[in-house]
Structure 1
Amino acid sequence: MKIRLVKNGLFTPVDHIEDTLAPPPEGFYWIDADLEDLIVLQPLFGMHDLAVEDCLNEEEQRPKIEVYESHYFIVINSIRFDDEEIFLRALNIFLGRHYIITVTQQKINELRSLKPVLWEQEVNHPDRFLYHLVDLVVDNYFLVGDRIEARIEKLEEDILMHTKKSHLTEIIGLRSEILWLKKVLGPQKEVIATLNKKELKLIDHQLQKYFSDIYENAVKIAETFETYRDLMGNLREAYQSSLAGRANEIMRVFTALTTIFMPLTFITGIYGMNFDYIPGLHVHGASYVLLGFMLLVGFGMFYIFRKKDWL
């Protein structure tokens, strides 16, 4: 657990958690905690049992905001994409008048990226801390969306160039990830809408207007992933069309080869009959002439098929 006094964007370490119970003369306290630290924090800050239970029992929580008498409990999901799978990391936030507590089970990149923003903006209140944190989380969805779009484009190019069976597995897997993520975006959008519109005494009225920009970005993200879902459907159709085209191409080759060998089989069939007199049967070197004629017929038909663009 790390305890800091944040004053005008500057950080001052605090050694004892008891020092954070009373409001500081200026600034606010930021407590960056792990799940194990809730045992100590709950009785000190009067955290609601249900909020603590949500932090401890659910790895992937549904985004929500719960208003209690002395604090708010907010859950938002940070996103990470490693080109194989989309991961959501629950970011639990307890917002009070003179403090903000962030509780995470895994490392959240946005918390590390937040420090220079707080310093640059000279943040001096916990509600502004919350605003910049939510803003970073939402902006990261755009970055992940760009990477997903790049992967879709590469997958489409690979399918058009050379279709593989593994491509179908990638399409199904990525589409499932996008559908799952799309279900999460709805509740998260509602949380941001609440921060924007609902009267919340722990958030400054003027600051609430800024949450409207974040809400617009959340709406754009939801629409973007809706587009990605449609693209994955188109990609699957392209995969199936490519497979069908490849199968037709193979059948064209086999049909052409069968057609080429039909006259050769006819010729060899004649000389396989049990007749005493067949033209050229006893002529010296006739077999070589016959083989040459068969090759000429085969190459001639191949040339005609290529000229007509049948091969």
Structure 2
Amino acid sequence: MKARLVQDGIFTLVEDITQTMDPPAQGFYWIDADVEDLVILQPLFHLHELAVEDCLTEEEQRPKIELYDSNYFIVVNSIRFDDEEIFLRALNIFLGRHYIITVTRQKINELRALKPILWEEEVTTSDRFLYHLIDLVVDNYTNVGDRIEAKIEKLEEDILMHTKKTHLNEIIGLRSEILWLKKVLVPQKEVIATLHKKELRLISEQLKKYFGDIYENAVKISETFDTFRDLMGNLREAYQSSVANRANEIMRVFTALTTIFMPLTFITGIYGMNFENIPGMHWEYGDITVLLFMLVVGLSMFFLFRKKDWL
């Protein structure tokens, strides 16, 4: 657990956690804690027991906002995409008038990226800290959306050029993750809408407009993932069409080869009969002549099929 006094974007470490109970002369306190630290923080800041229980017992939480007398409990999900799998990590936030507590089970990239923004913007209030943090979380969804779109385009190109059996598993897996993310985006969008539209005493009127901008971005992201879902359906149809076309191509080649060998089989059948008076049967060069004739017939049919674009 780290406690910092934030004044105009400048961080000052606080050694005694009890010092954060009283409002500072200027700025606010940012306490970056693990879930185990809530045992200490709960009595100090009068955190609601239900909110603390959610942090302690639930690894994957649904985005939500709960309003209590002394603070707000907000849950948003940070996203990470490693090109193979999408991960969501719960970011639990307790927002007070003179403090903000962030509680996580794993490292959250947005918290590391937030520090230079606080310094550049000279942030001095906890609600503005919350705004920049949620803005980073939503922007990261946009970045992940761009990477998913690039992966869909590459997958589509691979399917059209060289269809493989593994492509179907990739399509099913990516579509499942997109549908899963879509379910998460809906409540997260509602949380941001609450921060934008509802009268909240811990959120300044000026910041509500900024939360409105984040809400618009969240709506765009949700619509983008709707498009991804449709694209995955189109990809599956493209895969099935490609497989069907490939099967038809193979059957066409086999049919052409069978057709080429039909007259050759007919010739060998005639010369395989137990008759004496077959042309060339007793001729010295009969066997070579028949073989050459079969070769000419086979090559003629082959080039004819190539000319007709049947092979």
TM-score for the superposition, normalised by structure 2: 0.99
Residue 25 (structure 1) aligns with: 25
- Other-structure match for 1:238: 238
Instruction: Give the 3-state SS of the residue equivalent to 2:274 in structure 1.
Output: coil
Distance 1:221 1:207 in 2: 21
DSSP 3-state at the match of 1:61: coil
Aligned to 1:289: 289
Alpha-carbon RMSD:
0.5
1:222-251 CA-to-partner distances (Å, cap 9, x unmatched) read 000000000000000000000000000000
Please, which runs of 5 or more residues in structure 2 have no aligned partner? none
Q: Secondary structure at the match of 1:200?
A: coil
Task: Indicate the SS of the match to 1:277.
Answer: coil
Secondary structure of 2:241's aligned partner: helix
Answering whether residue 149 of structure 2 is matched by residue 149 of structure 1, we say yes
| Structure 1 CA distance for aligned equivalents of residues 173 and 59 of structure 2 | 21
2:122: which partner in 1? 122
Q: How many residues align?
A: 311
Q: Distance in 2 between matches of 1:102 and 1:89?
A: 13
Partner in structure 1 of residue 75 of structure 2: 75
- SS of 2:199's equivalent? coil
The CA deviation at 1:79 is: 0.5
Counterpart of 2:92? 92
Q: How many angstroms does 1:56 deviate by?
A: 1.1
Equivalents in 2 of 1:95, 1:306: separation in Å?
74
Provide the rounded CA distance (Å) in 2 between the counterparts of 1:224 and 1:166: 26
Report the AA paired with residue 83 of structure 2: D
Aligned to 1:257: 257
TM-score by length of 1: 0.99
How much does 1:207 deviate? 1.1
| TM-aligned CA deviation for residue 60 of structure 1 | 1.2
- Aligned positions of 1:180-259 closer than 5 A: 180-259=180-259
* 1:162 shift after superposition: 0.6
**Aligned residue for 1:162?**
162
Residue segments in structure 1 that go unaligned for 5+ positions in a row: none
Aligned-pair CA distance for 1:186: 0.3
- Aligned counterpart, 1:39: 39
CA distance in 2, matches of 1:205, 1:70: 19
> For the residues of structure 1 that align with 2:78 and 2:92, how far apart are their CA atoms?
10
For residues 199 and 272 of structure 2, the distance between their equivalents in structure 1, rounded to whole angstroms, comes to: 97
1:303 aligned partner: 303
Cα displacement (A) at 1:58 = 1.2
Q: 1: distance between equivalents of 2:297 and 2:10?
A: 88
Distance 2:56 2:300 in 1: 78
- Give distance in 2, aligned partners of 1:113 and 1:142: 16
Q: Partner letter of residue 213 of structure 2?
A: D
Say which SS state the counterpart of residue 87 (structure 1) adopts: strand
Instruction: Report the alpha carbon displacement of residue 206 of structure 1 after superposing the two structures with TM.
Output: 1.3
Q: Note the C-alpha offset of 1:209.
A: 1.2
Give the counterpart letter for 2:11 in structure 1: F
